[in-house]
Chain A
Amino acid sequence: MESQENKIKSLRRSIIDMIKVRKGGHLGPALSLVEILYVLYEYILNFNPKNPSWKKRDRLIFSKGHGCLALYAILAEKKFIKKSDLKTFCEPNSILGGHPEKNKIPGVEASTGSLGHGLPIGVGMSLAAKLNKEKHKIFVILGDGEMNEGSNWEALMTASKHKLENLTIIIDRNKLQAYGKTEDILSIEPLKSKLESFGSEVKSTDGHDINKLKKILKKTPFKKGRISALICNTTKGKGLNFAENKGEWHHKSNLSEQEIDKMYNFLK
């Protein structure tokens, strides 16, 4: 049986497969998410790739749309889409664009790409589930830079008002946004106490530690009657040591074949 370590490497290689097609893309923000998505799809979410709109499925809103290379890799792994789809990334007739679209990709719950949209949608879905007395859960993945958007904080107030304990937000805290460090551009700290004061029950963990992620995410809600918020401390560009924690790897274009080969070599 394939080891967890190999599975994770294989997902990262799938990301490079897509990067290779376009000779670029949002690499750094996808690589920080790999373990989080792996744990969600391997151990946490209820879903059926043969029936992506199955009513009882758990909903994952991928609000950090620019991290979609990681999402596409896991959707292919779980057979929502074909592995061959990955090799069409951003081609004119591909279902896979630079940001994910609900109406094109099976398993994508909402079209995202402009930040600050996923959480309000997730709040609506969570409220619907609560009103309908349905048992499925709603997860929203947010970037840490994305927490600059005021709409997230509006949505958190609403989620708290309605006591949406079926809602879990996962923040990819890689500490970098496009221009530089999140704390230099617009500080979101103290994030934990901010989230708490907006009505969330907050935990934080190493976002690359599969066992810890699994243990925490299996126990949502963290507290009855409250939204769960998990801050995942991650490394932008994780897995490629030359790209780790480097702002310039947020988005790349015109990558050479040698640079792409170098990436594959790291992920052997």
Chain B
Amino acid sequence: MPTEYRTIEEVAGPLMLVRQVQNVKFNELAEIELPSGERRLCKVLEIDGSDALVQLFESAAGINLAQSKVRFIGRSMELAVSPDMLSRVFDGLGRPKDGGPPIIPEKRMDVNGTPMNPAARDYPQEFIQTGISAIDGLNTLVRGQKLPIFSASGLPHAALAAQIARQATVLGDHEQFAVVFAAMGITFEEADFFIQSFRQTGAIDRAVLFINLANDPAAERIATPRMALTAAEYLAFDRGMHVLVIMTDITNYADALREVSAARKEVPGRRGYPGYMYTDLATLYERAGRLKGKNGSITLIPILTMPEDDKTHPIPDLTGYITEGQIILSRELFRKGVTPPIDVLPSLSRLKDKGIGEGKTRADHANTMNQLFACYARGKEAKELMVILGESALTDTDKLYAKFADAFEAQYVSQGSQTNRTIEQTLELGWELLRILPRSELKRIDDHFLDLYYDRN
């Protein structure tokens, strides 16, 4: 029976100071029992002599300094895992939320995980076909990658993430597939959208959901992604499944982190976010990947809304430095009615080069990809010039580029949220668009691909 302490000295925001404790360890989990008998979880943030600084995962409401009791549990936060987790819904701290029975654990895993040995990583290079041209053709996703969606308020990132979850397949592969979904501080409607979408396609049977809604305690959000990733690690590396993890919204997670940091009176970094936010986010994102000698993989798609659509805000900025690329949604394209409104120029998949080409997609993929990027960039410049100076100011070639840019947005990017294109369809569409331009303009494509594909028809 662990010792109970009635020595809570201070409660301030999500933090609590407990005095005269003994044998308490850093990062240890604790339980606080209110006079009403209700129990809440918390963990040790700092231990100084006999003083323990404790962070609450739930609200501080109702804590009574004189009568509440604190018990230190002697272990860090753990998640009970078993294959029965599939098709279940949990709250942000991993407790069943769907009215079902508790999980009978196969084992308990520390939610903080341990870093992967860089020497033990297996390089992600299996092409995932998402059926979305702007991703498959230009910003290819591969198994084990972490590729965030940078969105902003009011943009359809949820629809895009759901479309990826629905359509993602690996060509010629029938291995077991699972989805782990972590909701952090999003609204009921948004969470429900995902659940309905998983239900429609039957994906719900192979999904594990961790839901922390906007009205759930903010501090709980700090644990939620760790719960989800622990479940994903179990499914991927113990059970050999290919797991797609969708986490939304990272911005809410970072705000919860800032709240705790501010309560601790730490020296803030940019915009009040703690200086260790990079490291903290990295300990989440870096848990994606593949390991040598293990079958499964974790592919991670975090979604974040950029405050004020600003890509240099610390949350998207630090995320971009850790993840292997980003898919950026654009308000301008959204207004034009382009669905999904993926802005392909600033979007990037860092792992695409190893996931495409002969034997994976098609030999001409890399060349056409670079050419489409270059042509679209030049087309957009031509269009900007046209706005200022009128169409007559453009050279004939630039007019073709402008035409290309329009066609590219309308046909290649805007495919709707229900269309599922194979990679061949995406590549053919690319060639069809490139034929708008004369062959001599296509400098980034090797001659023999031009012979093979450009002049066909």
Question: Do the two chains belong together in a single complex?
Answer: no
B contact residues vs A (CB 8 Å cutoff): none
